[in-house]
Amino acid sequence: MSELLEMTAAQQAELVRAGEVSPAEVFEFWRGRAAGDELGAYLWVADEPPAELGELPPFAAKDLFCVEGVPSSAGSRILEGYRPPYTATSVRNLQAAGAAVLGKTNQDEFAMGSSNENSGYRPVQNPWDRTRVPGGSSGGSAAAVAAGNAPWAIGTDTGGSIRQPASLCGIVGMKPTYGAVSRYGMIAFASSLDQCGPLTRDVTDAALMLRNLQGRDPCDSTSLGIPGEIPLPSAERLDGLRFGVWGLDEEGLEAGVADVVRDTLAKIEELGGAVEPVEMPNAGLGLSAYYVIAPAEASANLARYDGVRYGLRSGNGDLTEMYEQTRHDGFGDEVKRRIMIGTYALSSGYYEAYYGKAQKVRTRIVEDFRAAFEKVDFLVTPTSPTVAFKLGERTADPVAMYLSDYFTVPMPLAGTPAISIPAGLSEGLPVGFQIAGPAFSEAGILDAAYALERAIGFEGVPVAT
Amino acid sequence: MSITEPEARAYEPVIGIEIHVQLSTRTKMFCSCALGFGAEPNTLTCPVCLGHPGTLPVTNAEAVHYALMIAMAFDCEIAARSIFHRKNYFYPDLPKGYQISQYDIPLATGGRLGDVRIHRVHLEEDAAKLVHAGSSGRIHGAETSVVDFNRGGTPLVEIVTEPDLRSPAQAAEFGRLLQATLRRMGVSDVNMEEGSLRVDANVSIRPAGETTLGTKAELKNMNSFRFLERGIAAEIARQEAILREGGTIEQETLHYDPRSDTLSALRSKEEAHDYRYFPEPDLVPIAPTEEMLARARAAMPELPAARAERFESELELPAEMARLLAFRSELGDFFEEALSASGNGDSRALANWTTNELAAKVGDADPASTRLEPGALAQLVEMVGQKQVSASAAKEVLDVLVAEGGEPAAVIEERGLGAADSSELEGIVERAIADNPDAVEKIRAGKGQAIGAIIGAVMRETKGRADGGEVQRLIRERIG
């Protein structure tokens, strides 16, 4: 079975279709890999396969996806022991397509973080260098896929939480258009930004997974699905396509990362694409707006965790003391920090100055993308300004940590899709290249990413651990 | 606060009303749980209305439909695109830690009902129900409190009036008109005791002639219009007493206790919440389409105020009777059906029978739910008019018709309740005169009221089948 380790999900599905391996054998192989994970990538691994298995290999789900009867804590102690009475629509969609839940992956608590060090349980190690972070917040999903401990995984992206860990772990990660995939059953961080997407070995797997994830869901009134088919990508050339470059001159961008991005731009041109700089005058304000809007929404989304109906309950029985002690014990520092920031930003007398202003910035960023996509087909940037950093390196400096999402934050603010593909190595660590497009341009993004992926020929998956 | 005191007249009450109406939709505002007052606690719940992690609200289209109808009833301007907000406050009856409500862009604004301007109409979800065990029934002094989430998420429409009301009685009268209007539309049970209609009042007073508003107090928990009236009256008296002693009114929320007829503070301004409203990102705006508006318009019945006016002008019913028939629309419906069955006969007599005898017999029930057919009522009233049956016998017939149904003529025949014919009646009158010589004496001596004894004797003899007027005429003929 070990040949499965070398295969993409699509290839494994083909093997099952051909009858060369049974779905149960595939499941068992990956269950074994997941159970043997030493990176801290999993918070829960399935004991046995479900009664019905289809041809798609099993997937790892970020812990914040609710799965009926399965521990789903969003990486937080406050939801320790919570087993939801229902299953997220995205998970159900994959199950309906014949893929089983392999396990629940570690993450930054409530998806708040860029290194997975904010997990309420344990940090995750980067399979490329176990002294380094895998990125976050979908760090467990990215590390599991990169290490060959999951064939593929789902995560969520609020400010970069799929693309940045995919970049740091050398895999493909895609944030679809807001509304492409149902949010029902995704434990919310920032509702206007959160979006579910794939973390996969290659671009074809991302397309295969997205095709099954997406769809309008009557349980999520903000969901629309993606109009039209998501074909498996097949483009070999980029002729006639215009790529606008943003961010190569940004302060804080590592030289090694910039080099890989420049090499990738050259490959775009070799494939017939046109590369030109593009102005994103307000995108640099994205982080500031994000760190008002996301905490504001989170401050309301997290108000329900009080120890009464589910999850952790601390205290001595007095109601107020129970509330306080439960939150004291259950929430980590970053979560508490963001609840306080968000509560403050929404307070009477401060609302306009913070939340109101952040929304105005958001509108301007939407305008930036609109203007850019009048001139170019795709916007390309580094995914992360740096390669994977050392565990503990940025934990004392939240702002340095926040800067990890500089290039990924504008897209969720605009609701537009983007993919990160591994484009090369710097200091022996993977560098991600980001391709963003207009709303619902997933098929086009996947095609461009596919052509580029073949030209780059990135090797390095999986890294055996 | 007696109005005879000159000081009391120096102040003018200014009253605005806030009404919360639980809509009688099939399901809750944002999930598919059934609504059910009085169901076993915590049986009508799901992950959504319990605020489980990851769940999302979805707006109930029927609730929007009902809310549009309500907005149309007040002739409000309906927003092309209204949005939901999160109203953040932490309380055990609110499992998400926020209530989904509407804030700065409500469903509808600027309407009118009767003489009162409507400020706004918006949609929101109800909180769960807290039950406080202990003698007070309130949270203070309760031994334990438990939560019933069945009510949580029930669709609510909040209606806010402008401060156009000037007396407790006017406020209660407005409340009754509103209740009748909502009931007529079938959008709510509008039962104040069960809480499907909840009325709060904002009360302030100001020196007569002033145009600026005084500091208001918010009155809650008045679960009948009588209590609303009494609560407002008590609050006006309280504020007047404070002002007359040179004090100032504090902005506060007061809880009315009908048992003691007193007001006590719920929370004062110092504890006022900062609700940190922000647009609900989980929901899309309500943007009523032409189809939605047309459907709401088509569902609008004739509303009580217009109906009362029609009864008055077209059927020439007295105002009070017209109002009663219009405000209790089930009575009005029965009346109109009976009227039409009678071939538009004597509307006044029919209205009289409907609002007096029939209303008394059925109490709060819908006459259509009894065995009585509208046509049977019409026939009975017609027979009374034609003196085929006496009024008092007809009441007995009505009892039978309500309980058992059937045709009035058959009931009269079967029970021998038909009006005595004139030769029979003449004989009975003559016997009654002969049997009551004292009364005859008195009548002849000018004591006209003594005729009652003779009439009574005739009625006893005829078991009420005789027409009182006819009997009186026959007696006078004979005594002269």
Cβ separation of B54 and A348 shorter than 8 Å?
Answer: no
Residue A336 catalytic?
no
Using CA atoms, how far residue A309 sits from A119, B39, B50, B134, B216, in Å, is: 22, 21, 8, 24, 38
Q: Which residues of A touch B281 (CB under 8 A)?
A: 190-192, 222, 297
Mean pLDDT, chain B, integer: 90
Size of interface A-B (CB pairs under 8 A): 100
Instruction: State the pLDDT at residue B267.
Output: 61
User: Is residue A344 packed enough to be buried (19+ CB in 10 Å), middle (13-18) or exposed (0-12)?
Assistant: middle
Domains of chain A: 2-280+367-456 (3.90.1300.10), 283-362 (no CATH)
Domain termination site, one of B297, B319, B336: B297
Q: Which helix (H) or strand (E) holds A255?
A: helix A255-270
Cβ separation of A221 and B276 shorter than 8 Å?
Answer: no
pLDDT(A415) > 80: yes
Q: Residues B385, B280: one domain? A: no
Distance CA B283, CA B55 (A): 12
Q: Which residues of A touch B59 (CB under 8 A)?
A: 221
Alpha carbon of A85: minimum distance to chain B alpha carbons (Å): 7
Beta-ladder partners of B399:
none
**A353 close contact with B: CB closer than 8 A:** no
Cβ separation of B278 and A351 shorter than 8 Å?
Answer: yes
Q: Tell me whether residue B155 is in a domain.
A: yes
pLDDT tens digits for range B164-181:
999 999 999 999 999 999
The answer to whether B420 and B468 are in contact (CB under 8 A) is: no
Q: Tell me whether residue B1 is in a domain.
A: no
Who contacts A417 (Cβ-Cβ below 8 Å, separation ≥6)? A174, A175, A176, A177, A180, A411, A436, A437, A439, A440, A441, A442, A445
Cβ separation of B53 and A192 shorter than 8 Å?
Answer: no
DSSP state of A101: E
Residue A137 catalytic?
yes
Q: Residues B290, B321: one domain? A: no
Q: Residues B129, B175: one domain? A: yes
Question: What domain count does chain B have?
Answer: 3
Cβ atoms < 10 Å from Cβ of A380: 25
Cis ω on the peptide bond leading into residue A137 (within 30° of 0)? yes
Q: Which residues of A touch B51 (CB under 8 A)?
A: 304, 309
Q: Residues B273, B316: one domain? A: no
Domain termination site, one of B415, B442, B467: B415
User: Is residue A457 packed enough to be buried (19+ CB in 10 Å), middle (13-18) or exposed (0-12)?
Assistant: exposed
Q: Residues B144, B214: one domain? A: yes
Instruction: State the pLDDT at residue B6.
Output: 47
Distance CA B20, CA A290 (A): 37
Find the residue in A nearest to B59 (Cα): A221
User: What is the share, in percent, of chain A residues with pLDDT greater than 70?
Assistant: 98
Q: Please state whether beta strands B262-268 and A274-277 pair in parallel, antiparallel, or not at all (unpaired).
A: unpaired
Q: Residues B335, B216: one domain? A: no
Cis ω on the peptide bond leading into residue B288 (within 30° of 0)? no
The answer to whether A247 and A253 are in contact (CB under 8 A) is: yes
State the pLDDT confidence band at B234, using cuts at 50, 70 and 90: very high
pLDDT tens digits for range A365-385:
999 999 999 999 999 999 999
Q: Residues B112, B245: one domain? A: yes
Q: Tell me whether residue B461 is in a domain.
A: yes
Mean pLDDT of A50-76: 97
Domain termination site, one of B273, B297, B321: B297
User: Is residue B106 packed enough to be buried (19+ CB in 10 Å), middle (13-18) or exposed (0-12)?
Assistant: buried
A412 is written with which tokens? Answer: 């969720």
Q: Residues B314, B462: one domain? A: no
The answer to whether B113 and B7 are in contact (CB under 8 A) is: no
Q: Which residues of A touch B88 (CB under 8 A)?
A: 299-300, 303, 346
Q: Residues B344, B219: one domain? A: no
Distance CA B74, CA B82 (A): 18
The phi, psi pair for A13, rounded to 5°, reads -60, -40
Alpha carbon of A299: minimum distance to chain B alpha carbons (Å): 9
pLDDT(B326) > 50: yes
Q: Check the CA dihedral A391-A393-A399-A401 and report its sign.
A: negative
Q: Residues B428, B410: one domain? A: no
Q: Among B52, B92, B276, whose Cβ lies nearest the Cβ of A343?
A: B276
Instruction: State the pLDDT at residue B480.
Output: 67
Cβ separation of A306 and B97 shorter than 8 Å?
Answer: yes
**A350 close contact with B: CB closer than 8 A:** no
Q: Tell me whether residue B249 is in a domain.
A: yes
Q: Which residues of A touch B52 (CB under 8 A)?
A: 66, 84-86, 309-310
State the pLDDT confidence band at B414, using cuts at 50, 70 and 90: confident
Alpha carbon of A97: minimum distance to chain B alpha carbons (Å): 22
Mean pLDDT of B148-158: 97
Instruction: State the pLDDT at residue A462.
Output: 52
Q: What is the DSSP string of A426-444?
A: ETTEEEEEEEE-STT-HHH
**B92 close contact with A: CB closer than 8 A:** yes
Q: Among A86, A304, A347, whose Cβ lies nearest the Cβ of B96?
A: A304
Q: Tell me whether residue B276 is in a domain.
A: yes
**Mutate which: B27, B30, B55, B64, vs A, most A CBs within 10 A:** B55
**A76 close contact with B: CB closer than 8 A:** no
Find the residue in B nearest to A351 (Cα): B276
Q: What is the DSSP string of A316-338?
A: SS-HHHHHHHHHHHHS-HHHHHH
Instruction: State the pLDDT at residue B9.
Output: 53
pLDDT tens digits for range B77-103:
999 999 999 999 999 999 999 999 999
Distance CA B287, CA A282 (A): 31
Q: Residues B46, B148: one domain? A: yes
**B278 close contact with A: CB closer than 8 A:** yes
Residue range(s) defining the domain that contains residue B395: 304-415
Catalytic residue among A62, A104, A175, A267: A62
Alpha carbon of A449: minimum distance to chain B alpha carbons (Å): 31
**B45 close contact with A: CB closer than 8 A:** no
Alpha carbon of B84: minimum distance to chain A alpha carbons (Å): 13
pLDDT(A3) > 50: yes
The phi, psi pair for A230, rounded to 5°, reads -105, 95
Distance CA B232, CA B221 (A): 12
The answer to whether B191 and B226 are in contact (CB under 8 A) is: no
State the pLDDT confidence band at A463, using cuts at 50, 70 and 90: low
Q: Residues B388, B442: one domain? A: no
Instruction: State the pLDDT at residue B138.
Output: 66
**B283 close contact with A: CB closer than 8 A:** yes
> Can you give the CATH number for the domain in which B438 is found?
1.10.10.410
Catalytic residue among A114, A115, A137, A299: A137
The answer to whether A329 and A313 are in contact (CB under 8 A) is: no
Cβ separation of A222 and B284 shorter than 8 Å?
Answer: yes
Residue A288 catalytic?
no
User: Is residue A270 packed enough to be buried (19+ CB in 10 Å), middle (13-18) or exposed (0-12)?
Assistant: exposed
Cβ atoms < 10 Å from Cβ of B193: 8
State the pLDDT confidence band at B3, using cuts at 50, 70 and 90: very low
Mean pLDDT of B340-347: 87
Instruction: State the pLDDT at residue B144.
Output: 83
Total-model pTM: 0.89
Catalytic residue among A76, A90, A114, A161: A161
- Buried b / exposed e over A7-17, threshold 16 CB at 10 Å, is bbbbbbbebbe
Instruction: State the pLDDT at residue B141.
Output: 66
Instruction: State the pLDDT at residue B195.
Output: 92
Instruction: State the pLDDT at residue B387.
Output: 83
Q: Which residues of A touch B47 (CB under 8 A)?
A: 84-86
DSSP-derived 3-state class of residue A58: coil
